[in-house]
Amino acid sequence: MHWRKSSYSGEDAEHNCVELGCAPGAILLRESDDPGVMITTTPDALRGLVARIKTGGFDHMAG
């Protein structure tokens, strides 16, 4: 599977981030420093999560 990492992340090992992979009808997410642990979601659910993040829907959780 081909995993994609944000272009905002560096290429060296110190720059860990969330990576995305595609499977038929699903999106897989993993943390680059722990690639054996993955979660699966749908494209629609991921789109909704990203939209909520962009509009500040989780800002109340920031410490």
Q: Report pLDDT digits (tens) over 11-30.
A: 666 667 889 999 999 999 99
Residue ranges of domains in the chain? 3-58
Report the pLDDT averaged over residues 31-44: 92
Q: Are 27 and 40 in contact (CB under 8 A)?
A: yes
Is residue 7's pLDDT more than 90?
no
pLDDT at 58: 93
Name the average pLDDT for the chain.
88
Is residue 8's pLDDT more than 80?
no
Cα distances (angstroms) measured from residue 49 to each of 14, 22, 36, 45, 56? 26, 17, 23, 6, 11
pLDDT at 14: 67
Task: Concatenate the DSSP letters of all residues of 17-60 into one string.
Answer: -EEEEEETTEEEEEETTEEEEEEEE-HHHHHHHHHHHHTTTTGG
